[in-house]
Amino acid sequence: MIARHISVSGRVQGVFFRAWTRERAEALGLTGWIRNCPDGHVEAHVEGEDSLVEQMLELLRRGPPAAQVENLRTWDVEPCEFDDFEVRH
């Protein structure tokens, strides 16, 4: 199992980015969380099998239809072993 902390910038708030991400993460069997940040970017923590996390990163690089992802940065972090994938407020 691996974990990645992710920062996504661009037009990523107000376009259902968080809900879309949760749906994709749940479909892949990943756990973690996602939240909006005050400066307009979205921050997430995703963990699971290496290949599935990589698939999630590819999805996040495109985002949902109304989003315009300009930049995606990731950091390797320690897994926290979440039970599910949640939208944080």
The DSSP code for 54 is H
Residue 36 annotated as catalytic: yes
| Active-site residue (options: 4, 11, 24, 36) | 36
Q: Cα–Cα distance between 14 and 24 in angstroms, integer?
A: 18
35 is a catalytic site residue:
no
Q: How far apart are CA 72 and CA 44, in angstroms?
A: 11
Furthest-apart CA atoms within the chain: distance in Å: 32
Query: Could you tell me whether strands 2-11 and 31-36 are parallel, antiparallel, or unpaired per DSSP bridges?
Result: unpaired
**Which is the catalytic residue, given 4, 11, 18, 71?**
18
Positions marked catalytic? 18, 36
